[in-house]
Each structure stands twice: as structure tokens, then as C-alpha cells.
């Protein structure tokens, strides 16, 4: 198969890979937590998924961050900035949007590159 999926339900997959590119979306595992914890745990989930997809957080291409409340911008960024390996930041959009669960404070979409195949 030229398309690989992981964590596939009727509605979505945790990630999908095609042609060396990985597409991932993650929401907070614990929506009752504060913004720092929600961001940290969402990024930790994405990091695990990236590893399963044969990629890692130093290979992000484009990130879209949705925040329920732009007042969380600085707190989210503290966690984001600390999480990213220096010199590897992706192109990034961040906008405010109401999310599917009323307690979600953040939802993150990543497009990343898989690791290069050995020659």
C-alpha cells in the first residue's frame, strides 16, 4: 500500500503517510487540564505518533494551532517553544477557533517529513 494509516476509526486516523509526508491531528488527552498541560500532552501525543510514522519533531513542515481563546497564546507558546528542537521550527499558523469539545483549549495539525530511506 502506498498510504499508511494509524489509529483509524470511522471518522479519522491518528496519522496518515503518503509519499514521504505525514499528516497528523491531535487534541488534548485530558481536556480538564490547563492550557500548559493540554499543550504539553498534545505535543507528547504528537511526538509518539511522529515516531510511529517514521518521523520526529525536528522534521515538521507546517503546523496549524487552533486555540479556543487567544488569551492562552503566551502560555501555549512557552510550551511549544521549549518542545521544538532549536533550528527546526516549521511554518506555523495560529488562530482562535471554538473546538469540537468545549473543554479543549488547543488542537494541533502537523504536516511532517518522514525520515529518508537508507540509500
d(CA 44, CA 9) in angstroms, rounded, equals 21
d(CA 109, CA 17) in angstroms, rounded, equals 14
Q: Which is nearer to a copy of itself, 41 or 112 (CB)?
A: 112
Instruction: Return the C-alpha cell found at 6.
Output: 494509524
Whole-number Cα distances in Å, 111 to 42, 50, 55, 90, 101: 15, 10, 10, 9, 23
Selected range binding a copy of itself among 28-36, 39-47, 107-115, rule: CB under 8 A: 107-115
Nearest residue to 37 via CA among 89, 70, 75, 86: 75
Number of residues that bind a copy of itself (CB under 8 A): 52
d(CA 15, CA 50) in angstroms, rounded, equals 8
Among 32, 116, 118, 119, binds a copy of itself (CB under 8 A): 116
Q: Which is nearer to a copy of itself, 32 or 117 (CB)?
A: 117
From residue 77 to residue 106, the character string flagging contacts with a copy of itself as x (rule: CB under 8 A) and all else as - is: x--xx--x-xxxxxxxxxxxxxxx------
Min dist. Cβ of residue 116 to a copy of itself (A): 6
Q: Which stretches of the chain bind a copy of itself, using CB under 8 A?
A: 2-3, 5, 8-16, 18-21, 23-25, 59-64, 66, 70, 73, 77, 80-81, 84, 86-100, 107, 109, 111, 113, 116
Amino acid at each position: 500500500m502506498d498510504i499508511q494509516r494509524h489509529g483509524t476509526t470511522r471518522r479519522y486516523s491518528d496519522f496518515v503517510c503518503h509519499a514521504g509526508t505525514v499528516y497528523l491531528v491531535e487534541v488534548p488527552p485530558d481536556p480538564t487540564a490547563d492550557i500548559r498541560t493540554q499543550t504539553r500532552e498534545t505535543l507528547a501525543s504528537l511526538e509518539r505518533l511522529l515516531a510511529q510514522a517514521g518521523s520526529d519533531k525536528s522534521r515538521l513542515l507546517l503546523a496549524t494551532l487552533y486555540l479556543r481563546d487567544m488569551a492562552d497564546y503566551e502560555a501555549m507558546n512557552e510550551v511549544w517553544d521549549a518542545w521544538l528542537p532549536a533550528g527546526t521550527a516549521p511554518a506555523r499558523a495560529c488562530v482562535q477557533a471554538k473546538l469540537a469539545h468545549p473543554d479543549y483549549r488547543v488542537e494541533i495539525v502537523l504536516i511532517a517529513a518522514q525520515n529518508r530511506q537508507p540509500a
